[in-house]
Every structure is written in structure tokens, then in C-alpha cells.
Chain A
Amino acid sequence: MEKDEEFDHATAKLDSDEEGDELAQDWSQMAKVTVSQNVIPKRGEKDFEPDGTNVQELMLFRAKKAMFDSLSGAIRGSVVKNLVKAYYVPEKHMAVVPHPKGTFMHTMGRVDSSGCCWLEVYEFVYLAERGTVTPYWQNSGREDDEFDVPLSVEDTYSLFKSQSELDEFFVYAHLKRLGFIVSSINQNVPHWSSYLEVSSITGEQRVYRYFTSLFRLIPTIPHFSIYDPYHFYFRRYTSSGQIYRSLNLLIPSYSAPRTVQELCNENADSYQETTDLKAWKISFNVWKPRTNFRKKSPGLPDFQIVVYNKNESGSSFPTYPEIRNIFQRLNYQFDFLTDGNMNDVQVANKIPQLNNEYKITKKEDESPRTKENKKNCKTYPPHIQQLRRLKKGYRSFVLAVMDDGLISFVRLSESDFGSENVWYEPNAFTKKSSKSQRPKRRPKKRSEKTPE
């Protein structure tokens, strides 16, 4: 009998998202996240609609009180002893901390030769807002310059020059609050080398690449193709696989680069075609929270973020060519290169000059968990590995969608169905696995459709 897909859907809990599907949380719970106060027990759920009862009225009053009490009680600043002064420098549109101290230095700002720490505006506002630094206006050229003009939070926000600067700040702060290490892309660039250096491709490779791409893009249609009305009078097919193979030559498709080599080649190829596109700004590099982070040699980031304000006039979701253009400019720790399951690391290691950075970060990342993952990957049967590839995709970036103060994150990944054949061939599974590399015990996580 057919499975009742739809029914399952209707009753399934819809995509629950702990990040506040519904607005406005129970502020009495604030106590749980602050340090000092006692934990107040959770009150009842929200109601369907106002019902005119006093009880409801009272509960709304309490909810609002809890919220505004928390807001009013939120004093920011520091005692004189711990004061870290940061000065906004209008000419540079940056802020400077003349006597920097504190842990924020590990991941933020840049220290110049005189020992001053320079902050981007978004870093400045973020640190001021959480009370880590105390913001001032740098008074240059005024007579009474023994007095520093202190700034309020409102003042610091007025330093943002455009909506997009502000949106980037919101995304930055959102990720920072969760402990991610975030830095803007323009910063730091000279500090690490990309493994996607274009220059390293030889002319020979280029020509080879050109030919192979020709073959891939322009489908080779056999003279007497399967689509010819008389085809089947001459040709016999002895397996469904053969029929599929004839059919799947027709539609050309983009194939995703899976190795360092392929990544390099792709970059070399597609430089020209990107001229009349909107080249989206990749705003941030993001590293997962870690304690051994070094600003000077951060290694490749774990994610890269593009910010998109959906309500701005003239803005629209990236088109396919724009998405591809972003892919080609990505430079992060591509997990499909490290995933033992996806492909062999050997290929990557053959290109040492491209690969320095990659190797370094790989070593650092060789946590027990990663190793375990790799082991697990190896034991998956081919069709599960295939499904994993399809579901995970290859290069990807995170699109931070700004909707008037609410941020949604979307991960867009390059996928490649054109390079995978999922057709069912009876006995194919058992034949292949009996030859070699058969897993010792059949993995428990088999798809329901294992052939009988």
C-alpha cells in the first residue's frame, strides 16, 4: 500500500525553530539567562485571542512588566578601574582604543605599531553596547581637549552610514552573541593564502580543461539517437541502466567541483562571464567558537556570510548566475574536501602550493570527532554515501536575510544531481559489495528501499 505521505505531513510538527518562531518570548524567563537573579517558574502558554477576562489582562500586564523591568535594569558601563576607552575617529570611520585590554582583543580589532587597537565601526558599537568598551568622540583640534565627549548607544548607532552597514552590524552582533568568531572579509585578507590561487594553473591544464568542458557542456548526441522514431528497431537494450544511460546524455548540467584541482580549474574558466553580474558582497568570515583562535593566522573560516535585506527597494534574491558567482569567490574550509566519504584527500595533496593552508587547518581540525566521522563514512554503503552527497551538496554559503530586524539564515549549497545515477538495478548492490570492501556487518541505517 502506498504510504500516506500527506497525512504524515499534516500532523508532523512544523519545522520547529528554537530561534523564536513566534515573536516576544516570556520575559519572566530572562532571569534564567542572567547571572544574579533566581529562576522564576514558567507561566502558562500564550492565548489564542483576547477574551476580555481580568486574568488575561493581568497576565499581559505581568508579561509587559517583566519585559520593561529587564530593559530598564539593563545598565551598561564599567567602573573606572576597568574602563576601556574607545574613541570614534570620524576621518577614518573607525574607532581606536589607545590602551587596549580584555579578551575581545583575541578575536577583534587590529593593533597598530604604537599598540593602539583599531576597531571597525560595527565592532565598536558591538563592544560599546555590551559595555566592554566605553565610547567617546575623538576630539581633535578643540581647545578644551582635556575633556572626552562621551557617547550614548544612540550616538554610536548614528555612526552607521547606510542601511547595509547597519544590517551587517545586526548580523555580526547576532553571531557574536552566540560565540562565533566573526570578521569582515576585507580585513585580514593578506594574512592567509587561498588554496584557490588562479596563477597556479598551467597553460596545459587550461587547454585540457577547455576541451573537457566542451564535452561536458555540449552534449554529444549520437547520430542515431534514442529519440529517433526508428531507434528501437535497430538497437536492443538488455538492462534498464542502458536505457537510462542513453537518456541522460541529453540535458547538460553543471557539475560541482569536488577536488582542489577541479576548484582551481573552475575558477580559471569562469572569470570572464561574471562581468555584467551583480557581484554580491561576501560580508563575513565565521569560525565556530574555539579557544585557540589566533587573529594573525586564523585559518580558513567555517562559514561565509552574505547579507541580504529583503525589503530594500531594488533588492532581490540572488539569481542562479549570481549564486554561482558567489560560489566561485568562496574561500572557506570546504568540508567536502575533508570528508573522507566525499572524495580522496590524495588528490588535494598533489598540489602542495595550493594546499598549504588547507593542510594546516586540517591538522588543527583533526579532533576525535572528525576522525570518528571519517570512520563512519567509510562504512556506509555506496547508495547511502550517494544520498549524503546529494543532501549535503558541495560549496555553500550562508545568506543572512534581514527582514526589518528579524534575521533568517539560509544555507545555499551547490548540488549536483547530474553526476549521480540513482537508477535501480536489481542485485547491483549485492554484486558490488560481494567483490570487495564489503562492510563487515550491514549498517543498520539502511534506506527503506533496499532491494528485496
Chain B
Amino acid sequence: MDDKVPISLVQAPGSSGVPLVFSIAAIKRLRELGVAGILTGTLPAATQQNAFLGIPLRLMIEEAAWLVEEGFAYLVCGGKLLEDAVGNLGAEDVAMMQKKAEESFEEQRAFKRQQHIEKLQRLGITKQDGGEEDSRLLEASLFVETKNESTLLKHKEAQFDIAVLQKKIVDNLLSHGKNHNDYLMYRALRSQGYFLSPGARFGGRFIAYPGDPLRYHSHLTVQACLDYRHEPLDLLQLVSGGRLGTGVKKLWVVGGVKDDEEIEFFSVEWAGFG
């Protein structure tokens, strides 16, 4: 059994939040679970474009809630976690961090020296230690990496993986979303194997893909959940939604919650005449 994925929640007190994932291994695992999310961070290798982005992965609150409910993940929140973590750093912790940093440098030094020697050997030069100048150059060329994931928050994060607490966090998250029933709709679609992504740019709540969006076109533009009994269909919207679908080969889908939380879906498309 894989470990649960920690999801960081950026939130202000009394509001919903933004679920983010920073670990590439976790992102991989979520994808296997049918949750693609949206990569939103700048890729250090290509900082001048928006087509390919990197960590963090931003999730919809419905995705986060589903992952927690299914036991695949847990949410981590709390505005001052980092401040506390830094404040609680003891002399030991600092020594540990220092040691780690030094270890990384030492590895790099060893590697670079080795490379240097090999290079000289190829050129047929045998030379002793290059003295101060060389070592100054070496020190200046050591790489300081800014990591994706936090080490400071590691211990704190694990403390959130408690069922009761998670339930509370998820409830809070969903209660501050626009439409609680959208979550039920998400769950129903996910259980039928669809990958989902935010759908506003297509005029829906979700866009549904029959498999991984990397490989497949989307099939459905899913509307925000309707009141099954009382909310009449907005026919003007249906007309434009159906029309839109014809152009982009997506069906326009409406759904509502029946009794016992079951969702009834209907798919709409322009009939092609009239």
C-alpha cells in the first residue's frame, strides 16, 4: 500500500482553500488514480512560456475531497505552520540542516575534482592540487538548489493524517465551494472512469475526458449541478451549449442529485436540423 499523499491547503480562516501538491512522485500517483490536476508553477528550464508548467499541481476542491474520502490523501492546513516550524528549530535541527547542506557541497566538490582530473588526464597533463585559486573557483561553482518539497514542514504534515480532523477539513472545504452537489457530481463522474478538469472556459463546471487528458480528447462539458426537482433547464443556455458542443465535439451534460445522493445525468447535443 502506497503512502498517503499530503496535499497543502492555502487558505484564509473561514474560507475555502487552494489544494496544492509539490511532490512529483505524488503527482504521478494521483495521475494513476485518475486525478490530473493543473500544473501551475514556472518550469525553471523554460521560464518564458505558459504551455508547459511545473509544480505545484493545483487541484479542484472536489478532487481534493475525493482523494481524502477515498483514503488516498490527506489535507494539511494552518496559516502559521512554517513560522512555527522555523520558530521551533532547535540547535540540533539547525546542525542537521547545516550538515546536509555541507554534505551536498562535499559531494559536488568530489564530483567536480574527479571531473577535473579526468579532463586533465585526457589532455595528458599531470598536475597537483591547483592551490587557492582553483579551490576558490570550485567553491564559487557549487550549486545551491531550491527544492520542491519542504523539509521544514515534513513532521508537521504527518500530524494532520487523522480521520476526524480530515473529515472536518474536507467539510469546511466543500461548504465554502460554490455548490456542494458539484462534489457528488465529481464523484459520480470519477467513479465512471472520467478524468475531470475545470470547465469554465468551455462553459461548464467540469470537462470530462474518457481517459488521461494527455492522450484523449474530452467528451463532455458538464454543467454545475442542478436541483433535480425544482430547477428548470435554462433552454437558452441549452441551445448555446448544444451548439458549442457541435463545434468542439463535446456533449453538453446536465445532472442533478436524486434522493440517496445518486446523480442523474442527461447528455444534450444539437440535432443537426431545425
Contact = CB atoms under 8 A, between A and B. Distances in A.
Nearest to B145: A77
Interface stretch (A48-56, A215-223, A257-265): A48-56
Interface string A1-25: 0000000011011110101111111
Given A152-B151, A153-B56, A76 B36 contact: no
B34 interface: no
Given A80-B140, A134-B146, A10 B246 contact: yes
Nearest to A131: B44
Interface in A44-88: 46-50, 56, 59-60, 63-64, 67-68, 70-81, 83
A49 B211 contact: yes
Given A152-B147, A152-B151, A33 B177 contact: no
Given A10-B247, A147-B98, A154-B8, A159 B82 contact: yes
Given A60-B215, A149-B86, A403-B200, A77 B54 contact: no
B152 to A, nearest CB: 6
B146 A80 contact: no
Interface string A124-149: 00101111001101010011100101
Contacts of A71: 24, 27, 39, 43, 54-55
Interface string B25-60: 001100100001111111111111111101110111
Interface in B98-119: 98, 101
Contacts of A59: 215
A405 B37 contact: yes
Interface in B128-147: 139-147
B257 interface: no
Contacts of A22: 213, 217-218
Contact of A313 (B16, B27, B197): B16
Band of interface residues on A: 35 or more
Contacts of A143: 91
B12 A161 contact: yes
A164 B18 CA distance: 10
Contacts of A162: 10-12, 15
A77 B143 contact: yes
B97 A147 contact: yes
Given A22-B218, A50-B211, A152-B149, A166 B18 contact: yes
A426 B106 CA distance: 87
A312 interface: yes
Interface string B5-22: 000101110011110101
Contacts of B153: 154-155, 158
Given A139-B86, A313-B178, A406-B201, A79 B140 contact: yes
B177 A49 contact: no
B176 interface: yes
Interface string A329-355: 000000000000000000000000000
A298 to B, nearest CB: 21
Interface string B201-239: 110000101111111111100000000000000000000
A164 B17 CA distance: 10
Given A404-B60, A406-B197, A151 B139 contact: no
B131 to A, nearest CB: 19
Given A128-B146, A153-B146, A405-B38, A312 B16 contact: yes
A118 B56 CA distance: 25
A286 interface: no
Contacts of A307: none
Given A130-B42, A408-B201, A23 B213 contact: yes
A256 interface: no
Given A80-B142, A157-B8, A403-B199, 20 more contacts: A12-B247, A20-B51, A33-B52, A64-B212, A71-B24, A71-B54, A72-B24, A76-B145, A77-B145, A90-B83, A130-B42, A134-B146, A152-B147, A167-B18, A170-B40, A173-B41, A173-B42, A404-B198, A405-B37, A405-B40
21 contacts: A14-B248, A23-B213, A49-B210, A71-B24, A71-B27, A76-B146, A78-B144, A80-B142, A81-B140, A137-B86, A142-B89, A149-B94, A152-B147, A153-B41, A155-B82, A160-B10, A166-B18, A177-B48, A313-B177, A404-B59, A405-B60
Interface of A: 9-10, 12-15, 17, 19-25, 27, 29-30, 33-35, 46-50, 56, 59-60, 63-64, 67-68, 70-81, 83, 90, 126, 128-131, 134-135, 137, 139, 142-144, 147, 149-155, 157-164, 166-167, 170, 173-174, 177-179, 310-313, 401, 403-406, 408
